[in-house]
Amino acid sequence: MKQKWLFAAAMAFFSAFSLAADDVDISIRFYDKKVYHISGPSGEPIYVQVTLTNRSPRTYRFKLADERVFSIDFDIRNLSNQSLEPADYILRKRSESRNVYFREIAVESGESFSFVEDIRNYAALREAGSFMVQARIFPELFRGDSGAPGPLESNRLSLNLLPPALPGPDGIPFELDVETNALLVREKLPPDEVVAYMLTARQKSQWEKFFLYMDLEAMITNDAVRRRAWLAESGEGRRRMMAKYREDLKNSVADEDIALIPSEFRIENTSYSGETGSVVVTEWFQTGRITERRRYTYTFRKHDDIWTIQNYTVVRLGTE
């Protein structure tokens, strides 16, 4: 009788898991879609956002490890359908003799839970080419054996990996247009069109376009402290400063006002003559139900018939 009860309980558990798993969607997408290379500046990551959506009428629970390699894996295959070798990082983590700490995540009916992972930690991306990426979630953690329930599988993403980017004259790699894979080249645009181009790129999180018409040296040296550090550096040191400044802008560590994402913008005034100019723009920023309005004034300088942003000022106009 006891054996029958244990068998019935076990069947009920696996049945409930199966039903819940069937009603859970796992989807993945690139967190910041861009042109990816075999290796980028400072080992630039390839972030993928993983989303679990509960479509069942009941709460779905799963274990999420602090070390995510025990909760998720990425199957990355080339066009010959061959899986890439695991990255050194995941092999090292899974071979360590240590406790696996986790928290139980409860996803209510109709709700979703998301997190972001760098797929460079999961597969050895050593060659350029086209690949298919699929995530596998282990609700009861990865145990290296067949004792735990099988993983949940996501949709597939297409990943195009290009050879290493060529460095430009300032040491920063040339960028490609994520939509066309064409080399981004500055065009002879008037200042108001440059601002529209830059703000539209920021709305789409297209960093390569956002930086295209920005004079980073001028932006760095507008600050007195950074200017002294810049003047004290060698050519190589200045290239490192410029690369770090780009990353600081992307991470909202430096000059965060210019890197904010406007929900909309309107160009109010444009004036330029000779080699200098300015553009006044009203920008709106949405935070929950509150809309903040700011007035930006971007200053420009023209060199070789190309207008570039040198600096900016901001005036807060209140909320709506």
Give the chain's domains with CATH numbers.
2-162 (2.60.40.2360), 191-319 (3.10.450.50)
Residue 132: the pLDDT is 94
Tell me which residue has tokens 């901001």. Answer: 314
Q: What does the alpha-carbon distance between residue 45 and residue 117 come to, in Å, rounded to a whole number?
A: 9
Mean pLDDT of 219-248: 85
Task: Read off the pLDDT of residues 260-302 as tens digits, 9 standing for 90 and up.
Answer: 999 999 999 999 888 999 999 999 998 888 899 999 999 999 9
Pair 281, 260: CB distance under 8 Å: no
Q: Is residue 224 over pLDDT 70? A: yes
Residue 7: the pLDDT is 44
What proportions of the chain, in percent to the nearest 5, are helix, strand and coil?
A: 25, 40, 35
Q: Is residue 186 over pLDDT 70? A: yes
Mean pLDDT of 11-25: 54
Beta carbons within 10 angstroms of residue 135's beta carbon: 24
Pair 259, 211: CB distance under 8 Å: no
0.85 exceeded by pTM = no
Burial of 81 (0-12, 13-18, 19+ CB in 10 A): exposed
Beta carbons within 10 angstroms of residue 152's beta carbon: 19
Task: Read off the pLDDT of residues 115-145 as tens digits, 9 standing for 90 and up.
Answer: 989 999 999 888 888 999 999 999 988 876 6
Nearest to 203 by CA among 247, 259, 256, 251: 259
* pLDDT band (50, 70, 90) for residue 8: very low
Residues 6+ apart with CB under 8 A from 201: 207, 208, 209, 210, 212
Q: What does the alpha-carbon distance between residue 75 and residue 58 come to, in Å, rounded to a whole number?
A: 29
Q: What does the alpha-carbon distance between residue 42 and residue 70 come to, in Å, rounded to a whole number?
A: 26
Residue 236: the pLDDT is 76
Residue 5: the pLDDT is 46
